[in-house]
């Protein structure tokens, strides 16, 4: 990933009392993702993962009103239990998307990474999202990036601890 640019990028980090292996499993198993990925009261109702560089990362989110929002991306880099990188700027097979859609979650292009580093108390969890431009970053911030990713991580932790 590019060096962090505060004018274009967002980050979220926390020490999590789960192992990197548990977090990796939560991020790479479709059945797990359905339980935590979307901040409640939203839901993730479908997830398809082809876990390889160039592979598909697809989710369908459902609003409390029942509206569904499909999201498709492409995995770029996978280092098991350490790093997961994907983008919504490419379709599977690294094919460039035709254009960003009008749905809120896909109206800006980004590349995201989750980096997992072992820590004495579990795992240092770092999420970074790099945006195409300042407008995309601003839109993502205004959608509630930090709160949303924090809620999703709390849901991931609770779900994985109850398995």
pLDDT at 2: 78
pLDDT at 3: 87
pLDDT at 106: 55
| Domains of the chain as residue ranges with CATH | 19-161 (3.30.530.20)
pLDDT at 108: 85
H/E segment holding residue 149: helix 145-161
Find residue 48's DSSP bridge partners: 58
Instruction: Please state the three-class secondary structure of 105-139 as a single string.
Output: HHCCCEEEEEEEEEECCEEEEEEEEEECCHHHHHH
CB 90 within 8 A of CB 96: yes
Q: What is the pTM of this model?
A: 0.92
C-alpha distances in angstroms, 134 versus 6, 26, 97, 121? 10, 30, 20, 35
Closest to 114 (Cα-Cα) out of 47, 50, 37, 55 = 37
Counting beta carbons within 10 angstroms of the beta carbon of residue 19, is it exposed (0 to 12), middle (13 to 18) or buried (19 or more)? middle
Low-confidence ranges of the chain (pLDDT < 70): 99-107
What is the maximum alpha-carbon separation in the chain?
45
CB 137 within 8 A of CB 146: no
Q: Cα–Cα distance between 66 and 72 in angstroms, integer?
A: 19
pLDDT at 103: 46
pLDDT at 104: 43
pLDDT at 116: 98
Start-to-end CA distance of the chain, whole Å, equals: 32
């Amino acid at each position: 990933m590019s060096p962090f640019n505060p004018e274009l990028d967002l980050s979220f980090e926390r020490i999590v009392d789960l192992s990197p292996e548990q977090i990796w499993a939560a991020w790479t198993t479709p059945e797990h993702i359905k339980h935590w990925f979307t901040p409640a009261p939203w839901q993730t109702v479908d997830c398809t993962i082809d876990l390889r560089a160039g592979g598909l990362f697809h989710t369908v989110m459902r609003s409390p009103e029942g509206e569904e929002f499909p999201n498709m991306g492409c995995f770029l880099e996978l280092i098991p239990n350490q790093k997961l990188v994907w983008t919504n700027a490419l379709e599977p097979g690294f094919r460039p998307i035709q254009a960003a859609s009008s749905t809120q979650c896909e109206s800006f292009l980004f590349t995201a990474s989750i980096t997992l580093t072992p820590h004495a108390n579990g795992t240092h969890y770092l999420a970074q999202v790099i945006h195409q431009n300042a407008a995309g970053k601003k839109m993502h911030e205004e959608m509630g990036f930090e709160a949303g990713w924090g809620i999703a991580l709390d849901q991931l932790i609770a779900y994985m601890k109850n398995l």
